[in-house]
Amino acid sequence: MKMAPDNIRREARRAQFLTIVPYSLSVLFIYAATLKTMDYTVFVADIAKSPLLTKISNTTLAPLLLGVEFLTAILLPFRPTMKAGLYLSSFLMLTFTLYLSTLYFFFTKIPCSCGGILGMMPYPFHIAFNLLFTILSFIGVFLITGSKADVLSGKTA
Amino acid sequence: MKKNILILSLILAGSLCVILALVNVSGPGTPMIGQARRYTVIEAVTEDSIRLPASINMMQIADGCLYGFADKQKVLFRTNLENRKTDTLLYIPSLFSGVLNGITFDPATKTFYFLNARSRKIYLYHLPDARKDSFNTGTLRLSGGEKCFTGAAFFIRSVEYPTNLTTLKKADYTRNADTTLYTFPLYPDGGISSDGFFRKDASSKKQFYIPYYNAEIIAYDEADDKISKIITIDKTKPYNAAIPMEQGYGLSGKAKMINMAAATDSTHLYLLSYTSSPGKNEKAGTVVDIYSTLTGNYEGSLQFPYFENHPATLLEKYGDRLYVAFSNNIVSYKINYR
């Protein structure tokens, strides 16, 4: 059966989105996790300073967080694992956004433990940045369902 | 579609649960000490309670009157312990704008001194004739202090800029001269890690600098011009309690407060500790540890339950009674050594 031109355009946009967004998210996670790994001691110390993480061992949380970030970055670019990656990315980005917002609005504005340019962002900008990627992850989850990527991974809507 | 909405709702709920759980366990918590406290040596018998018009940040008892300063309202109260009448001595919010770095009372001249580092001024309130005055601290920086017993000198904590070296000094502002008595380990945080408060005992002429975040209490004997230390039972080492901020340094959310308030008499230091010992239900603001100021040894502890849902915040010793402030309520306890 032939597809209508509108449907073709929509499918093309969806395919474009599902290429750009997961790759962008993957790059973001690789960038953040790599910088934290390179400056691991500072990252562990920054976690230790967070008033929200007082009861959590920083030496346990730091490798766990890095592991999850790298795992998400690996899952996102590949079609069979993209959906799982987008779910994980949605959870991580939303949790980071809520964490930063809680620190910003209710606690001392401690420096963010993200490395590089992310760590230098002012809090409101960092929160907006995270929120944007959270929304993109959420949209990605909806778009991937029923797309060719989902069919390729052997799933149906 | 429905499945996605369900999963994303679960993700949203999961994230919220994670943050709520983190908020729930946030804060530095109560530091645990290695040794058990002795509660059988000293006994506190409840005697009386007084309700003040506001919650106070400074408490001083002299000549049968309790003086309390409410920093929020910038009011100095006086309550007669006999007839329990309370009157307002001072109400000058404009004079003490910003945070005060200390309030100290000189029993010899019956004068209150209000220290303000920002304006580099010390304000005086002379009790007998209600005279008010002030003088500049000049080039001598201070970030807290206590009036000495003799002369015009103050026992102060000073932070030097730009080295951030924190010292305890004896400073005479009338002569713009000072002597360094003790130098703290160097923290680059503007003195936050060595922050603390002052107490003194008129009968023994001893003054104490009690740090909030570590176990080393510095005692200054003015008569012998000698510095000594009392190490509290938590043995908390001096450490950096600050974190870098956008401008300068701020107190870390994980900085654990060890010492909250203190009172002294001729032989003892009563210290309101925020630590708890193994196997005991010792909530923050309920335990007072007692140390001999002659030997520096720990003698015993007292535990005070919350009063009207408030923990203890201030202590004052007067005669054989220990006065404990619980927000705007002051409860007096008779102290008996068994």
Please choose, from the candidates A148, A65, A34, A52, the residue with its C-alpha nearest in 3D space to the C-alpha of residue A109. A52
Give the start-to-end residue ranges of the domains of chain A.
5-152
Q: For residue B250, list chain A residues with Cβ-Cβ distance below 8 A.
A: 108-110
> How many CB atoms within 10 Å of residue A1?
2
> How many CB atoms within 10 Å of residue B179?
11
Mapped to the 3 state alphabet, what secondary structure does chain A carry?
Answer: CCCCHHHHHHHHHHHHHHHHHHHHHHHHHHHHHHHHHHCHHHHHHHHHHCHHHCCCCHHHHHHHHHHHHHHHHHHCCCHHHHHHHHHHHHHHHHHHHHHHHHHHHHCCCCCCCCCHHHHHCCHHHHHHHHHHHHHHHHHHHHHHCCCHHHHHCCCCC
CA A139 to chain centre: 13
Mean pLDDT value of segment B93-116 = 81
CB contact under 8 A, A102 and B22: yes
Domains and CATH numbers, chain B: 2-337 (2.120.10.30)
> How many CB atoms within 10 Å of residue B266?
13
Min CA distance, B21 vs chain A (Å)?
9
pLDDT score for A53: 80
CB contact under 8 A, A54 and B246: no
Amino acid at B21: A
pLDDT score for B276: 86
Report d(CA A143, CA A10) in Å as an integer: 11
**ipTM, interface predicted TM-score of the complex:** 0.78
Digit-by-digit pLDDT tens for chain A (157 residues) are 556 677 788 788 888 888 899 999 999 999 999 988 988 877 877 776 677 886 777 778 899 999 999 999 999 999 899 999 999 999 999 999 999 898 888 775 555 666 667 767 778 888 999 999 999 999 998 888 765 545 444 443 3
Minimal Cα distance from A108: which residue of B?
B253
CB contact under 8 A, A50 and B253: yes
Q: For residue B8, list chain A residues with Cβ-Cβ distance below 8 A.
A: 90, 138, 141
Of the residues B1, B5, B7, B11, the best mutation for testing chain A's interface (the one with the most A CB atoms within 10 Å of its CB) is B11
Amino acid at B239: Y
Calculate what percentage of chain B has a pLDDT beyond 70. 95
pLDDT of B62 higher than 50: yes
Please choose, from the candidates B140, B62, B65, the residue with its C-alpha nearest in 3D space to the C-alpha of residue B104. B62
Interface of A with B (CB under 8 A): 48-56, 87, 90-91, 94-95, 98-99, 102, 106-111, 138, 141-142, 145, 157
Mean pLDDT value of segment B95-115 = 82
**Cα B323–B327–B330 angle (5° rounding)?**
25
Residue with tokens 């599902």: A18
Which of A54, A109, A142 has its CB closest to that of B254? A54
Q: Which residue has the higher pLDDT, B95 or B267?
A: B267
> Are the beta carbons of A48 and A106 closer than 8 angstroms?
no
Report d(CA B62, CA B56) in Å as an integer: 17
